[in-house]
A and B are shown apart, each in its own frame.
Chain A
């Protein structure tokens, strides 16, 4: 019997294993990862690890002992090259063949490459994997002028880390604001000011035309309007591309992600997908591909349980976070499409939350250094509760009054 074969090396893969064992699956489980490392956490790579605060041993999601204990066969540093669905097996780069009863793809996404001349020079790095982070950490130590291309989370966290290491940092963003896909306008503007105040130069509407260098090493970034930004190191953070090729070649339906249903199943009932590589029907039915620890972990756990024969629907509230300087950003729900925003707290004090509504329904809460409100927001969204904007806007109101309502809703529903 082939048992469960899990392909991947981060949160989704580990949580698939956990979910399957928690659901009582006692058959064979193999975890196959193209990377040679134990499955590891990616968020610290752009934060504590890059600043030299975390060492690599601290990055593992679970110790090797855990996999032994759970009787999971780890197959690290071995890449899958083909899924043969008729035979029910996966072929590896080294020619070996692994049979499966059920297959999980938790193969993530890769950094989008900068499509301009010079992007392959030394000193042009993206940040996605531990190997990327090692290289960046080493090169950052030598660099003085750092240009970050892309004002998304990875780019901004790298910028924050670099400026705290005493580098001169410029962020080039092609749009007219930071984090256009992930955050609402007010938080993006707050964040821009926070970076500028700490010395990061931000340049909006910057279209990178070419990277220039000598002897194969980058020296500058040139923009379409002819400006030149000198750089010893260029960090490219312009989004990601889901790793769908393996699934696509096997005829599994993909569209900017491996398509899965509420049960994390692909259009092949023996094949599941979870994490950054998967596009799933969100709570409201729109197809979402999320790149976050929460999504990878919770979707992975659901996938694992369902591979073990359960029928759990994945409908968790998305949440994610970012640490930049002494700012803890925590987002619950997705702010896109909001038609009304109510603020609690003071941006000037670096402590506030933005409650986003659409048609009088709470859709997201973005918090800066207000963890209690973030945690409350996760519960409100999960319980489908919509506190009146007037209550939220009242600084003297204690929002904990809402907890009783949440408890009532939670008690009434069998799950969650």
Chain B
């Protein structure tokens, strides 16, 4: 199990134990957390699963590829250095303990 904490803009925190191989987006959607719409279902096509990877984790999460990086130009909330599409962050043991922040809007 990989533990991921999702922090909402209002301070709410949800910590989930998720299976390896799924994505940070799927974890949130399957457990019905607010803040992630994931309209396209993980196709890297809609940019509605935007999260900010916590600073402490930035160096440990594999970087966005070109497609994702370009999609991030279109996110509804502000794009920051930690901005990622959570459908593209695949859960692996090295991400156990990951913390992501949800943006104000998708």
- Write the residues of chain A forming the contact surface with B, with a CB cutoff of 8 angstroms: 11, 41, 43-44, 47, 58-63, 65-66, 69, 293-294, 297, 321, 323, 328, 330, 369-376, 378-379, 400
B46 contacts across to A, CB distance below 8 A: 293-294
Within the assembled complex, what's the spacing in Å between the Cα atoms of A52 and B88?
A: 19
Given A293-B39, A321-B40, do A63 and B71 touch, yes or no (CB 8 Å)? no
The answer on a CB contact under 8 Å between A376 and B39 is no
Q: Which of B31, B39, B43, B67 contacts A63 (CB 8 A)?
A: B31
Per-position binary interface string of chain B over residues 1-44, scored 1 when its CB falls under 8 Å from any chain A CB and 0 otherwise: 00000000000000000000010001001111000000111111
The answer on a CB contact under 8 Å between A321 and B32 is no
Given A293-B39, A297-B39, A328-B45, do A63 and B70 touch, yes or no (CB 8 Å)? no
Residue in B closest to A60 when the chains form the complex, CB atoms = B30
The answer on a CB contact under 8 Å between B32 and A378 is no
> Separation in Å of the A343 CB from the closest CB of chain B?
17
B71 contacts across to A, CB distance below 8 A: 371-372, 375
For the A-B complex, the count of residue pairs with Cβ-Cβ distances under 8 Å equals 69
Looking at chain B's contact residues, the main secondary structure is: loop
Which 5 pairs between the two chains have the least Cβ-Cβ distance?
A375-B74, A66-B32, A372-B70, A371-B70, A41-B41
Given A328-B67, A369-B67, do A65 and B73 touch, yes or no (CB 8 Å)? no
A44 contacts across to B, CB distance below 8 A: 41-43
> Separation in Å of the A345 CB from the closest CB of chain B?
12
**Known A41-B41, A61-B29; 15 more pairs at CB < 8 Å:** A44-B41, A62-B29, A62-B32, A63-B29, A65-B31, A69-B32, A293-B46, A294-B46, A323-B43, A370-B70, A371-B68, A371-B73, A372-B70, A375-B47, A376-B73
B43 contacts across to A, CB distance below 8 A: 43-44, 47, 321, 323
The answer on a CB contact under 8 Å between B67 and A371 is yes
Within the assembled complex, what's the spacing in Å between the Cα atoms of A294 and B37?
A: 12
A58 contacts across to B, CB distance below 8 A: 22, 26, 42
The answer on a CB contact under 8 Å between A330 and B45 is yes
A-B contact pairs, 18 of them (CB 8 A): A43-B41, A61-B29, A62-B32, A63-B30, A65-B30, A65-B31, A293-B39, A293-B41, A293-B46, A294-B39, A294-B46, A328-B67, A330-B45, A371-B68, A372-B73, A373-B70, A376-B74, A378-B74
